[in-house]
């Protein structure tokens, strides 16, 4: 898991990480609303709550259409405790997770 900490500049780092993969290999789960990042992925979804994220991850786990996804980008600006929780999902799904942290 790559955790990006800070108040600003996180999108540039995310962009660099996403460009390292083909668009079809990256899924963006966006709780913040950064339209510029959407151009680097074929899979984008906006969610409103962390419960929505868990429901989506459960769907990814069961849906064969997501087998080719290698990286899941969680654009949250969350707290560090939230990132720790998603580490277990990274292991469970066997995909690289990138998450943004606003407050730590």
Return the CATH number at 62: 3.40.50.300
* 97 neighbors 2 (Cβ within 8 angstroms): yes
Domain region containing 28:
2-103
Nearest to 96 by CA among 104, 86, 85, 81: 86
pLDDT tens for 52-90 read: 999 999 999 999 989 999 999 988 877 778 788 888 999
Q: pTM of the prediction?
A: 0.86
Average pLDDT in the chain: 86
Domain count, the chain: 1
pLDDT in tens, 88-98: 999 999 999 99
């Amino acid at each position: 898991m790559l955790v990006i900490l800070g108040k600003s500049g996180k999108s540039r780092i995310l962009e660099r990480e996403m460009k390292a993969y083909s668009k079809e290999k990256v899924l963006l789960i966006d709780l913040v609303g950064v339209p510029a990042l959407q151009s680097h992925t074929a899979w984008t979804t906006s969610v409103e709550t962390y419960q929505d994220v868990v429901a989506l991850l459960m769907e990814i786990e069961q849906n064969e259409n997501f087998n080719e996804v290698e990286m899941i980008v969680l654009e949250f600006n969350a707290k560090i405790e939230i990132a720790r929780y998603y580490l277990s999902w990274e292991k469970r799904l066997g995909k690289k997770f990138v998450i943004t942290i606003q407050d730590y």
